Amino acid sequence: MDYPLDDSEDNLIGQGKECRLRIESHNIARVHAKLLYREGLWWAFACDTGSGIWVNGSKTDCAVLLNGTRLRFGDTEACFNNSLKSMEFPDLRIRSRTRR
């Protein structure tokens, strides 16, 4: 699933109704993270979670997003895509991992 980001506001990710991208999972906080565009860069910040966010396999509370950056929110993985055809509104590809 492709998810267009809005560079004019905070893009909240979580289970809450205020989130632009709602992820239904027991591992996701009401407002788990926010992605925002500031001074020419996209940023990811952890919010109401003690578990932080995972960026390229490392736990962090904040990170700059570059093309191809891998993100994980709970059990949901994403890949940040800042391609030429969507420079103004990069996409966040979301896929939920299934546990077996």
- Tell me how crowded residue 70 is: count the other CB atoms within 10 A of its CB: 12
Extended strands (E) in 1-100: 2-4, 11-14, 21-22, 33-38, 41-46, 53-55, 58-60, 62-65, 70-73, 76-81, 91-96
Q: What is 2-96's CATH number? A: 2.60.200.20
Segments making up each domain of the chain, as ranges: 2-96
CB atoms inside a 10 Å sphere around CB 21: 19
Give the pLDDT confidence score for residue 83 in this predicted structure. 59
Question: What is the mean pLDDT of each successive set of 10 residues along the chain, which is 100 residues long?
Answer: 83 92 85 92 87 90 90 83 45 48
pTM: 0.80
Question: Over the stretch 34-44, which tens digit does the pLDDT of each residue have?
Answer: 999 999 999 99
Backbone angles phi, psi at 10, to 5 degrees: -70, 135
